[in-house]
Structure 1
């Protein structure tokens, strides 16, 4: 009898303990789950397509940069979002460097304007910087077709000459003096929010094409002005070279690296005895786009005052986020002769 009573007591105790344990499990508060915060960029730089933390505020600034061999290496190229290269006179080329994401401390050597340089600056609603002008460009600038500052009016003040080079390959302007020039001219350097180019978003697969790890471009000016672009798979960018040397920025000594290289075929017309050109930025034509070691044949057309590339189906070419170099070559001899893939 005592054994049965003891067993009953033990059983009841175990049941009570089990019940308490079960209730404790139900009432136990789980530890808080640590939230892993991930920042997804919702803002992208409008001229490079790269993710940025803050909305861009700087109005595009376009500078005519000297590309003569005596002007190399140039200053400020690595800060440019987009660089255009085209013939200025004869078969010698000049660069138009567009700055929006950042400004270098100094840009140059600065060279003279052409009418089609002014047209591009107007299309971007950019503040335009040059030193000198063709007769056609002079009239456009005097008529304030675009907000601008010119070294012909400010040589030795806003524009400074370097002592290690000779004119006309030694005129430079600083970031501070560009801002001063804008203030003098009553020009607002605030970005107006316009967009001109399409970019791939993160994780979006870029269109493929025909393999082309290297491309060379002949502007007709001989070896000093021919250029080549080689795709570096490790770096994921194109390295530009000219006259046998990599294109570098004098300010940091680093090579210019590009995510996109584009070539537009455009009508060129010689307009005077100096060999100055008129370039048709409006009609549209054949083009090529080089991205990630691939090339595609596309077209170009005018969009909001800017020549842009379009796919064969008419959709706008998307650019790989990063820096872009755009070349204008003449319809004579044309893409097939002026541009070589290898």
Structure 2
């Protein structure tokens, strides 16, 4: 039952938020005279730098950022359920694409892989990722050719590192496996044992205040094919994602995409050529929504060394431990779109 609808047009968002950050530490038990041998329970646990989740061993893997196709003919995709961070950003027209960043998990297959744009490259650089794409715009090609980011592109490796699936048609059928990503990195002498700097996370005891928001909808230009709905699953304590009314799941495993953090950031967009390519401002900061634990807070976003993160009163707001999806929406006057939520 709709209790409290709120529709906010992209040119008129107003925001504020607060949070706190605590750190946890384990203590090693000691005997009277000397420290006791550490048991499995007493060994300090490691955590994933991009999800904050506990890991048995310290991860030294470099992050990998993959351009994933979001055209309806590319759904359901492979590998999205295992991404630590996913950006959803407009490409040409009313079409969005994903930049999926992997570090804590390495899915067997990722795709369909799509072409690069310059602003996706900038986002990948924020996590010092190896950038994976198939094709490029002129501005993206200039960035890749300049050597400012380590990358593997299907224009060079189509049929070798990148494989074409028989069950889909081009340009919606290019896939890559983590095995092939590692092979390509080795061939190009990429350093792959440098993990990204860790994000900040809430402790397990901390929770978020805000408006009740069990369902959030993002509409891009009133195109229902790219409507995004996040539904809070109380049992899981996570959000499910839907596109055009269908749940986002993994093509190969049928695992649903489940996430703990949603950040919706309003940024200036500008069309720059006859093909409809865009310039997107990721530097100025602006209005945003942060959604966690079935609650929504109005906040600000800032670019923190290439990372789009939530802030309030100049201080970064820690994330919940888990996966994060970041939807970038236009703030430019005259663009049609909306964000709404309900209890």
Range into which the TM-score falls when normalised by the shorter chain = 0.7 to 0.9
Compute the RMSD of aligned alpha carbons: 1.8
Say which SS state the counterpart of residue 309 (structure 2) adopts.
strand
Cα shift at 1:38: 3.3
Aligned to 1:246: 247
Equivalent pair of 1:41/1:52 in contact (CA under 8 Å): no
Aligned to 2:202: 200
Aligned to 1:329: 329
Aligned to 2:271: 270
Task: Say whether residues 1:67 and 2:70 are aligned partners.
Answer: yes
Structure 2 unmatched runs, 5+:
1-37
Structure 1 unmatched runs, 5+:
1-34
CA distance in 2, matches of 1:110, 1:187: 20
Aligned to 1:23: none
Q: What per-residue deviation string (whole Å, max 9, x for no partner) do you get for residues 77-119 of structure 1?
A: 1111011101011110000000000110110000000000111
Counting only pairs closer than 5 Å after superposition, residues 114-125 of structure 1 correspond to structure 2 as: 114-125=117-128
Aligned to 1:285: 286
Normalized per residue, the structure richer in helix is 1
Counting only pairs closer than 5 Å after superposition, residues 249-260 of structure 1 correspond to structure 2 as: 249-260=250-261
Cα shift at 1:220: 1.5
Aligned to 1:49: 52
Q: Say if 1:336 and 1:318 are closer, same or farther in 2 by CA, change over 3 A.
A: farther
Q: Say if 1:37 and 1:158 are closer, same or farther in 2 by CA, change over 3 A.
A: closer
The number of residue pairs the alignment matches comes to 305
Could you list the structure 1 runs, at least 4 aligned residues long, displaced by more than 4 angstroms after superposition: 333-337
Q: What per-residue deviation string (whole Å, max 9, x for no partner) do you get for residues 107-158 of structure 1?
A: 0000000000111111211100000000000010011110000000011111
Aligned to 1:81: 84
Task: Say whether residues 1:185 and 2:182 are aligned partners.
Answer: no
- Name the TM-score, length of structure 2 as normaliser: 0.85
Give 1 or 2 for the bigger CA radius of gyration.
1
Cα shift at 1:307: 1.7
Aligned to 1:6: none
Aligned to 1:164: 167
- Name the TM-score, length of structure 1 as normaliser: 0.86
Cα shift at 1:64: 0.1
Say which SS state the counterpart of residue 179 (structure 2) adopts.
helix
